[in-house]
Amino acid sequence: MPVPESISDIPFNANPQKSRKGLDRVWHAAGYSIAGLRAGWQETAFRQEALASLVLIPVAFWLARSWVEAALLAGSVLIVMIVELLNTGIETAIDRIGPEWHDLSKRAKDMGSAAVLLSLVLSGSIWFAAIFQRFVA
């Protein structure tokens, strides 16, 4: 295959995965998602959050006074896991570029970490409000 001279020389549909349609696309996408969860499981933080979710999500349905509140509590736990996976993806992509230190690599990793922190603060705030409402108010 000849090397393209510019990005505009690369066909838009160069990825053979883009030609998949219907259930074939869904089947392959599900496989990639499972592979992503397996890769995430290799990370200590994701494992801790996943194991915590096994406890917190059932507790959310016990603690909540409505389905909306239960969805907010359980959803906040899932948001933390989602952001952790995205952060791990950022870190993995940066690490693939090379092991040398670079300011932009550090910034990208720091921002991913900050996103995880903010998701934890959001989740903690939602849980605090629900616990306060249930036991104090």
Q: Annotated catalytic, 84?
A: yes
64: left (phi over 0), alpha (psi -120 to 50) or beta: beta
The two tokens of residue 52 are 């915590």
- Which residues, other chains included, contact 95 with Cβ-Cβ below 8 Å and sequence gap of 6+? none
Give the active site residue among 69, 84, 91, 100: 84
8-state DSSP, 60: H
Residues that are catalytic: 84
